[in-house]
Structure 1
Amino acid sequence: MAFAYPMQKFQDWFTQQWVILRGRKINADDFPWLIGPFGNLESNGDDFIRNFAHQENLIIDRETPSRGLIPSMKKLNLSEIEFSNLSEQVRLFYENTADYDLNFSIQWNPYFKLFGVLVNKLFSIRINQLNIPTENSKDGESLNSEIITLIDPVSNEVKYTFWFRAIKSSRKVVYSGIYGVCTLPSGKTCIKAVFPLPNGNATVIMNPGVGEDGELILDSSGNKFGDAGFYFLLKDSKGEYWSQFIRSFRDRLIINSEGECISAEQTLTLWHKTVLKFNYVIKHKK
C-alpha cells in the first residue's frame, strides 16, 4: 500500500492519503494533458512562483504589456462558426488579461457555507491559496489581478502563465494558478488551470464553447477520468504519482459582454447542488 509523504501537516497528509486510496496510480509521461506544477511545503503564493522559477531555471516576467491567459483564442480549436460568433471583447480579455481590472461578488448556498469556513481554516489561510470569502457580498471586492509569465532564457518562449488574483483590501490570495491549453485523450482542446498545493495540485480542465450571444462557456462537467473536470494530483512518499477525478465537483464559467462591459458568472456545484456563485465585472484599465 502506498502512503502520502509523512512529514507535513496532518490535514494535508489525510487528504493526500484519501487521493491515494480512492484514486489511481499514474505514469506522468502517459498523461501530459493532466500533469502540471506541484506545490511544496516551504513556500506558497508569490514565494512559490519565485522558487519554482529558480528550480526550473526560468525568468520571471511581470513587465511585458498585454499578457494574456491564452496567447490566441484560436488555440482552443473552436469550430469556425463558434469562433466567428465569439464576442470580440471576450476574446480580447483572454488574449490581453493583464490589461483588465476585476471586481467580484460572491453568494454562498447557506448549506455549504460551513464547508467554506473549514477549507479556509484548515488549508487556505496557511497555504495562501483559495482564500474564498465566506460572507456573501453584494457590493463586490476589487481584485489585484496580475499575469506573470515564466520564460525560458534560451528559447525566449513562455513556459508557464500564472494568473495571480488577491483581494485588494486584505491581500489574501483567492487564486494563484497556472493557465494554458491541453488536449484530452478524446482529442478535445480544453482550458487547463493548475493550482499548486503541498506535494501536489488541484487541476481544473474546462471544455470551451460559445453561446448564442457570443458568450464563452467553460464547463468542467465530465463523467470519467480523461474528460474535462476536477482532478487532484500528488506524489506519495516514494515519489510515485497519483490522481483522483472528482466527478461530483463541477465548475461552470460564462463570460459575456455588452458593449465595452465584460461580465462573468462562475458557478461551483457539488453533487449537482450549487455551492457558491461568483459574479465578476471586468473593465479595461484606463
Structure 2
Amino acid sequence: MGPRSGATLDLATRKWWRAVGRRVDLAGEHAWLAAPVSRGPLVGDGWLHDEAARLGGQVRDGVPGAGLLADVAVLDGPGFRAADLAPEVRAFYEHTADWRMEVWTGWTPLFWPGGELVSRLFGRRVGQLALPMRPLDVAHGMDSRVSVISDADGTQRAAGWLRTLRSTGEYVFSGCYSARRLPGADRPSVHVAFPLEHGNVQVFLRPDVDPDGSLWLRSPGGRFGTDGAYVVVEDGGASYAARAPIHEEFHVHLDREGVLRTDHDLRLWAADVVRLHYRLEPRARA
C-alpha cells in the first residue's frame, strides 16, 4: 500500500471512530483519556519526546533497571497489595529493562485471516500493534527497550516500552505505561496507550493478585469511564473517544521450575482471538 492510499485509509478510520464515539474534553472532564499521539503515520518512538515536552520533562534512555512502573505499590488499594506479589513478578514491572523475553503466538483459525489483513493494512505499515501472525515471526525472539518519561522534577510519570522483532528490527508494540485512576474507581489501574497518527488506542487494566503471588491484569467490558479498551481520535480540531469491544487478560506467574511467564489472551466481544505466551528471563549481568 502506497503512502497516499495509507493516508486515505487512516483518515477514513478516524472518521469512523468519530462517528461511533463521543466528543471528549481531554483537558477537563475526560483528562483520564489524555495520552500520547503520533504526529506522523509511522509511529516508532517519535511520540516519546512530545509526551515528555507535554509534562515539562525529558526522556531518559538507558536507565539501569528501568521499569514500566517506578513502584508497583502505586496500584495499591482495596483488594490489591503489591507486597503480596511474588518478588519476580514485581521485579519485572519495576525493572523491566533487566528482563529478556521469548514469545509464542497462537491465533484462533476463524480470526487469523482478519488479523493478517489488519496487520498488513495497519500494524506493519505504521509500526504499531503489529501482532505476530506466524510462529516464525517471533522465532528469534523479541527485543524491548524501556524509556523513562520524567517530569520537570525528574519523577517518573510514565515509561515507553518499545518492542521489536529481533530478526528484523520491525516495531511490534510502542506503548506508554503508567498508573491511572478512573473516575470513581476505588484504586488505580495499569494504563497503556498505543499512539497512532492523530489518536491512540488505550487500555485500562485492573490488577489483582492471587494467593500464589501471580498477577492478573484484566480489561473487561463495561460502561464508558470504566476499565477496558478505548480508541481516541483527533478530527476537525476536536477529540472523540469510544469504547472498543476488545478485552484482554494477562496472567504473570512463575511456573513449576521458577521461570517467569505471561499468558496474554485477547478477545473480541466474547470470542477468543489470539493468545500470546511470554517466557521472561533476567538478562545476564556484564
* Fold equivalence (TM over 0.5): yes
Q: Verify the 8 A CA contact 2:68 2:159 in the aligned structure 1.
A: yes
Partner residue in 1 for 2:7: 9
SS class of match (1:46): coil
SS class of match (2:15): helix
Q: Of 254, 268, 278, which aligns to 2:276?
A: 278
The separation in 2 between residues aligned to 1:137 and 1:106, in whole angstroms, is 10
Partner residue in 1 for 2:241: 243
One-letter amino acid matched to 2:74? K
Residues 117 and 79 of structure 1: is their aligned pair in 2 closer, same or farther, counting only changes over 3 Å?
Answer: same
The separation in 1 between residues aligned to 2:24 and 2:161, in whole angstroms, is 27
Matches within 5 A, 1:37-76: 37-41=36-40, 43-50=42-49, 53=52, 58-76=57-75
Residues 160 and 86 of structure 1: is their aligned pair in 2 closer, same or farther, counting only changes over 3 Å?
Answer: closer
SS class of match (1:20): helix
One-letter amino acid matched to 2:209? V
One-letter amino acid matched to 2:228? G
Identity fraction in percent: 26
Superposition deviation, residue 117 in structure 1: 1.1
Partner residue in 2 for 1:183: 181
The separation in 1 between residues aligned to 2:103 and 2:16, in whole angstroms, is 33
Partner residue in 1 for 2:229: 230
SS class of match (2:225): coil
Q: Of 250, 255, 263, which aligns to 2:252?
A: 255
The separation in 2 between residues aligned to 1:142 and 1:8, in whole angstroms, is 29
The separation in 2 between residues aligned to 1:104 and 1:41, in whole angstroms, is 29
SS class of match (2:31): coil
Counterpart check, 1:92 vs 2:91 = yes
One-letter amino acid matched to 1:16? R
Superposition deviation, residue 157 in structure 1: 2.5
Residues 104 and 78 of structure 1: is their aligned pair in 2 closer, same or farther, counting only changes over 3 Å?
Answer: farther
The separation in 2 between residues aligned to 1:84 and 1:54, in whole angstroms, is 33
How large is the Cα RMSD of the aligned pairs? 2.4
One-letter amino acid matched to 1:263? R
The separation in 1 between residues aligned to 2:157 and 2:138, in whole angstroms, is 37
The separation in 2 between residues aligned to 1:206 and 1:34, in whole angstroms, is 14
Residues 89 and 128 of structure 1: is their aligned pair in 2 closer, same or farther, counting only changes over 3 Å?
Answer: same
One-letter amino acid matched to 1:253? F
Superposition deviation, residue 85 in structure 1: 3.0
One-letter amino acid matched to 2:68? L
User: Which consecutive unaligned segments of at least 5 residues does structure 1 have?
Assistant: 1-6
Superposition deviation, residue 261 in structure 1: 1.5
Q: Deviations over 1:11-70 (max 9, x none)?
A: 111211111111110111212222101112254203343565567764331122111111
The separation in 1 between residues aligned to 2:270 and 2:162, in whole angstroms, is 29
Counterpart check, 1:194 vs 2:212 = no
Matches within 5 A, 1:105-184: 105-136=104-135, 140-152=139-151, 154-184=152-182
Q: Deviations over 1:85-109 (max 9, x none)?
A: 3211101111111100011000000
Partner residue in 1 for 2:22: 24
Residues 139 and 149 of structure 1: is their aligned pair in 2 closer, same or farther, counting only changes over 3 Å?
Answer: closer
Q: Verify the 8 A CA contact 1:105 1:138 in the aligned structure 2.
A: no
The separation in 1 between residues aligned to 2:167 and 2:193, in whole angstroms, is 25
Bigger drift between 105-114 and 47-56 goes to: 47-56
State the TM-score, normalizing by the size of structure 1.
Answer: 0.89
SS class of match (2:45): helix
Q: Verify the 8 A CA contact 2:32 2:180 in the aligned structure 1.
A: yes
SS class of match (1:9): helix
- Count of aligned residue pairs for this structure pair: 278
Q: Verify the 8 A CA contact 2:150 2:156 in the aligned structure 1.
A: yes
